[in-house]
Structure formats: C-alpha cells, structure tokens
Amino acid sequence: MNYEWENTGDKLEKKFIFSDFREALSFINKVGELAEELDHHPDILITNYKEVVISTTTHSTGNKVTEKDLQLAKAIDNLKQPV
C-alpha cells in the first residue's frame, strides 16, 4: 500500500508499510542517515510492528512546512518504496 504525503500546513506526514519489522527498522535507519546528511530531522513512529509514520516540519519557522521539508520528503521517497 502506498500513501502520499499529507500536508496539514504545519507538517508533512506519510505512512509507509513494510512486510515485517526488520524491513521497517532498516528503513528507519536509512531515514536517520539521510536526516543527518540533510541536517533536518523528522519525527518517526513505528506502529503495528511494520508501519512507519514520518512527520516533518521546520521548527525554526514556527512549525511550518518549508522547502527543507519538501526536499526531505522527496529524498525519503527515493530511499525505498513501501510494500
């Protein structure tokens, strides 16, 4: 199942579903490395053992979606497509 990024005005959020916990955790680690490279860090939640929800906002602008968030979202999408 493939979800799109939802823009609520104050954040971008997307759910990724994987085949198992190991695959979800591997994806989270890749997102973490990417976030460090871009110096822009999302909130990451793992739920139901194989679902990952990622939210990103720019805190320095009062929690608004900025170009940094759009770039991070695109880079995350390029990491791996969900099941």
- Report the pLDDT value the prediction gives residue 81, as an integer from 0 to 100: 58
Tokens of 32: 């973490």
- Report the pLDDT value the prediction gives residue 40, as an integer from 0 to 100: 95
- pLDDT in tens for each of the 83 residues of the chain? 457 999 988 999 999 999 999 999 999 999 999 999 999 999 999 999 999 999 999 988 889 999 999 999 999 999 865 44
- Report the pLDDT value the prediction gives residue 1, as an integer from 0 to 100: 46
Cα–Cα distance measured from residue 58 to residue 48, given in angstroms and rounded to the nearest whole number: 27
CATH architecture of the region 6-79 = 2-Layer Sandwich (3.30)
| In the chain, domain spans | 6-79
- Report the pLDDT value the prediction gives residue 3, as an integer from 0 to 100: 76
